Structures are given as C-alpha cells and as structure tokens.
C-alpha cells in the first residue's frame, strides 16, 4: 500500500530542488484539446495527460505509430480498465499519478522545461528507468503498476495482435 508516509519519502527521494509540498498543477491550458474534450470515466484531464506522456515512453518502438487518434483510443481503454479495478487499487493508482504529476511538474518548475507539453520521451524514460531500479520500494511499485496497466491495455486488444503474430482466440460467443 502506498501510504502517505511512503509517498512523502518517495517524493523526497526523487529530488530536492523543490520544497516538499509544492505540487505542480498542470494548467488546463497546457493540456491538448483531444484530451481536454474527452468524457473520461475515471481519469481527469491532468491524469490523462500524464498517462499519455507515459504511453509515449512505454510503447515507443519504430513499429508503433502513436498519433492523436491512437493515443486517445488507448487512453479510453486504460480509463475503462481502471473503472474495473477494486477501490483500494484505484486509490493507489491515484496516489501514483500524484507522484508522477509531481515528478513531471518538477521539471517545469525547476526551469528544465517551460511547459509540460515539452517533456520529451527521454525525460519520462529516465523517470521510469530510475523507478525500475530504485532502492525505494514505493518507486518500484509505481514502475510495475504503470507498466502492467499500460501493457495490459495495449496487448489486451486486437490492434497489436497481428503485428506480434497472435491470431486471436478461436471464435466463440463473440
């Protein structure tokens, strides 16, 4: 469980350039319209924005083209998947997105970037890699949680099956 104390510890560990407690809030103006205009079931526009940034890292490959339409489709799928999770998992996911909001927002606050939309794939790559091998368990949890959610949403639907050579299940009751 990501307790509040662990969350705080994790935030401290991600860097000290900003005083703890300053949580950067993504401005609505920074969020592209295709995210702003969606009718999300669980995510809000800010969280959808963060997830879309992570998707660009998580799915990055020459074979995979992620235009706006593809991103929105994937985001809608992730949003739907989250609604099926039990309450404790949803709460944890919300906390996880809060940490991310902070980590990504920090890049803007510290002046590395002027705008959240300028965050590059290599910035999110770096965050994910750091989390994967971190000695802080909360960050490992965040990495595994995000990766599992996004991979499951990507490979659970037909769009990618042909590319990896999976014919799909035999047709029953579909």
Please identify, using beta-carbon distances, which residue of 102 and 143 lies nearer to other proteins: 143
Alpha-carbon dihedral sign for residues 98, 37, 151, 153 = positive
- Residue found under tokens 């009751």: 173
User: Residue from 41, 151, 159, 162 that binds other proteins (CB under 8 A)?
Assistant: 151
C-alpha count within 13 angstroms, C-beta hemisphere, residue 116? 25
CB of 102 closer than 8 Å to CB of 91: no
The answer to whether residue 40 forms part of the interface with other proteins (CB under 8 A) is no
Please report whether residue 159 would count as binding other proteins according to CB under 8 A.
no
| Residue 4 binds other proteins, judged by CB under 8 A | no
Interacting residues with other proteins between 41 and 60 (CB under 8 A): 57-60
- Of residues 120-149, those binding other proteins (CB under 8 A): 125, 128, 132-133, 137, 140-141, 143-145, 147-148
Helices 45-58 and 121-133: crossing angle, nearest 10°? 80
Which residues from 65-94 bind other proteins, rule CB under 8 A?
81, 83-89
**In the 8-state DSSP scheme, what is residue 27?**
-
Half-sphere exposure of 128 (CA within 13 A, CB side): 22
* Residue ranges binding other proteins (CB under 8 A): 1, 57-64, 81, 83-89, 125, 128, 132-133, 137, 140-141, 143-145, 147-148, 151-152, 154-157, 160-161, 163-166, 169-170, 172-174
């Amino acid at each position: 469980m990501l307790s509040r104390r662990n969350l705080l510890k994790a935030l401290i560990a991600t860097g000290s350039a900003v005083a703890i407690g300053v949580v950067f809030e993504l401005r609505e103006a920074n969020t592209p319209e295709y995210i702003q205009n969606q009718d999300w079931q669980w995510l809000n526009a800010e969280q959808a924005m963060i997830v879309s940034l992570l998707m660009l890292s998580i799915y990055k490959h020459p074979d995979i083209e992620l235009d706006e339409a593809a991103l929105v489709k994937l985001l809608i799928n992730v949003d739907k998947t989250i609604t099926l999770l039990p309450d404790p998992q949803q709460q944890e996911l919300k906390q996880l997105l809060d940490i991310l909001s902070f980590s990504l927002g920090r890049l803007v606050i510290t002046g590395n970037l002027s705008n959240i939309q300028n965050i590059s794939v290599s910035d999110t790559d770096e965050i994910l890699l750091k989390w994967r091998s971190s000695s802080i368990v909360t960050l490992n949890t965040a990495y595994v949680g995000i990766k599992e959610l996004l991979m499951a949403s990507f490979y659970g639907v037909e769009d990618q099956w042909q590319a990896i050579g999976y014919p799909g299940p035999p047709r029953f009751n579909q």
